Amino acid sequence: MGREQWKKIWVGSAGNMVEWFDWFVYASFAVYFADSFFPKGNDTANLMNTMGIFAVGFFMRPVGGWVLGRVGDRKGRKAALTLTVTLMSASAILIAVAPTYAVAGYGGVAVLLVARMLQGLSVGGEYAASATYLTEASAPGRRGFASSFQYVSMTAGQLLGLGLQILLQRTMSEDALHSWAWRIPFIIGALGAAVVFYLRRNMLETEVYAQDDDAHSDPARGTIKALWAHKREAFLVIALTMGGTVAYYTYTTYLTKYLSGSAGMDKPTASLVSFCALFVFMCIQPLAGKLSDRIGRRPLLITFAVGSTFLTVPIMTLLKHAGSFWPALGLSLLALLVVTGYTSINACVKAELFPTGIRALGVALPYAIANALFGGTAEYVALWFKKGGIESGYYWYVAGCAAVSLIVYVTMRETKTIDLNRVKPGEGAPLSAQPARSSLSGGTSQR
């Protein structure tokens, strides 16, 4: 792969790294800045209020998917990617400079709320914008490999956030973290977003978009009406995302809490398990993406769904009784290896389902809806089952979501052979698993 291709991959996915760094540090540093924005006295209530503001970001993601998906289809992939990183930088700066309750009363809360709304908008659009860009900017036989870097960058952002947290905890006093040092990660996030903004200002538009004859003349581009013409593909994105996003959040963001809260593991060991597992998970994404370019997307998706359907319950049960680092790490790696069948290629699969004029919105809005409904609520559902005394019910919930996605994977058509330049409005990518004429052969794509 040439230098130019690597540059496209880096520029297309770098925003994800900054995005997920910001997303992670808000959740993890909330314990330090919660008291800064609310009256003193009830630490638990203050933390709950702060995390309530965090939840607002999930509700804004579908809105961001709609707004920025529309921009991506009407103004271009470059315009959408530049706008998402601008919103990222603005949200990080607002949090970094937000006044405390002692200075501005509830004015600081208002700033925090606006910042989280901007961050939710940005996250909702970044996924689709980068997924579309990476897929369109890649050679047909490299789309799986290139788009796999989306989850490489997302995981790298989480690891950088976790690493910074560990560093600050070891070098700063508890008082410093509570009073001012919690602002450091948000300043770093804003600087990172500024760097990505500079890179994206100089990026080239994808040839697929630039060569689209209707790019500037079709008034229906990027509209809900145009998306409704591809409603089957949109519902397909929701269904194929359902199992993957629940499993992803279970074994990434929820894993540390599960190991420390349910498995009885001390927090430093639980954090180390998560860090090591996520690092290996990040490294194997391109390998799986490259494999999909050879054997197709469906085999990997089906492997993920079968594995999650039948292995989730035993893996989660064994993790609860793992007791020490190595058994927990081995089980976590097994789970994330299974999830890789989804994460490594889901970006390109979704992009391959839609024609150019509705591709960004077609990926953005259905994905954001599915992520808000299933991924964003995964941790809350897990804790709800635990509070009700039936924690194992959550294991079956994850398995059930994977089973629904399995039905979709088995019945959908292979997408790796789709020619992105030849999928026209009104046609869409084929959904049937039965043989049909490919758009590569010049025939009309069949549903």
With helix as H, strand as E and coil as C, how does 168-221 read?
A: HHHHCCHHHHHHCHHHHHHHHHHHHHHHHHHHHHCCCCCHHHHCCCCCCCCCCC
415's tokens: 């997408």
Q: What is the DSSP letter of 122?
A: H
Question: pLDDT value at position 47?
Answer: 64
Q: Examine the pLDDT at 426 and tell me if it is beyond 70.
A: no
Q: For residue range 89-103, list pLDDT tens digits in order.
A: 999 999 999 999 889
Question: pLDDT value at position 214?
Answer: 65
Q: Mean pLDDT across the stretch 169-195?
A: 93
Question: pLDDT value at position 42?
Answer: 66
Residue 326 CB partners (closer than 8 Å, separation 6+): none
Question: pLDDT value at position 44?
Answer: 66
Contact 241, 346 (CB under 8 A): yes
Per-residue pLDDT band at 15 (split at 50, 70, 90):
confident
Question: pLDDT value at position 173?
Answer: 93
Question: pLDDT value at position 378?
Answer: 87
User: Which of these ranges, 46-50, 133-137, 289-293, 394-398, has the smallest mean pLDDT?
Assistant: 46-50
Q: Examine the pLDDT at 383 and tell me if it is beyond 90.
A: no
Q: Examine the pLDDT at 442 and tell me if it is beyond 50.
A: no
- State the amino acid at position 25 in one-letter form: V
Please give the residue that has the higher pLDDT: either 54 or 416: 416
Question: pLDDT value at position 321?
Answer: 94
Q: Which of 283, 278, 47, 286 is nearest to 163 (CA)?
A: 278
Q: Examine the pLDDT at 439 and tell me if it is beyond 60.
A: no
Q: What is the DSSP letter of 137?
A: T
Q: Where are the alpha helices (DSSP H) in 252-296?
A: 255-261, 267-295
Question: pLDDT value at position 261?
Answer: 86
Q: Mean pLDDT across the stretch 260-278?
A: 89
Q: Which of 367, 376, 373, 372 is nearest to 65 (CA)?
A: 367
Q: Examine the pLDDT at 39 and tell me if it is beyond 90.
A: no
Task: Give SS3 for 79.
Answer: helix
Q: Examine the pLDDT at 216 and tell me if it is beyond 70.
A: no
- Please tell me the pTM assigned to this model: 0.86
What is the distance between the alpha carbons of residues 170 and 178, in angstroms, rounded to a whole number? 14
Helix, strand, coil shares of the chain, percent, nearest 5, are 80, 0, 20
Question: pLDDT value at position 1?
Answer: 64
Contact 195, 104 (CB under 8 A): no
What is the distance between the alpha carbons of residues 295 and 40, in angstroms, rounded to a whole number? 58
Percent of the chain, pLDDT > 90? 60
* The dihedral formed by the CA atoms of 64, 382, 47 and 94, expressed in degrees to the nearest 10: -20
* The dihedral formed by the CA atoms of 219, 225, 231 and 237, expressed in degrees to the nearest 10: 70
User: Which of these ranges, 67-81, 231-245, 425-439, has the smallest mean pLDDT?
Assistant: 425-439
User: First-to-last CA distance in the chain?
Assistant: 33
Question: pLDDT value at position 423?
Answer: 53
Per-residue pLDDT band at 438 (split at 50, 70, 90):
very low
Convert 252-274 to b/e letters by CB count within 10 Å (16 or more is b).
bbbbbebbbbebebeeebbbbbb
Contact 12, 133 (CB under 8 A): yes
Q: Examine the pLDDT at 141 and tell me if it is beyond 70.
A: yes
- State the amino acid at position 389 in one-letter form: G
Q: Examine the pLDDT at 422 and tell me if it is beyond 70.
A: no
241's tokens: 């995302």
What is the average pLDDT score of the chain? Answer: 88
Please give the residue that has the higher pLDDT: either 47 or 229: 229
Among all chains, which residue has been given the structure tokens 């909330």? Answer: 30
Please give the residue that has the higher pLDDT: either 212 or 191: 191
Q: What is the DSSP letter of 1?
A: -
Q: Which of 132, 183, 175, 153 is nearest to 25 (CA)?
A: 183
Q: Mean pLDDT across the stretch 248-255?
A: 90
Q: How far is CA 209 from the centre of its chain?
A: 23
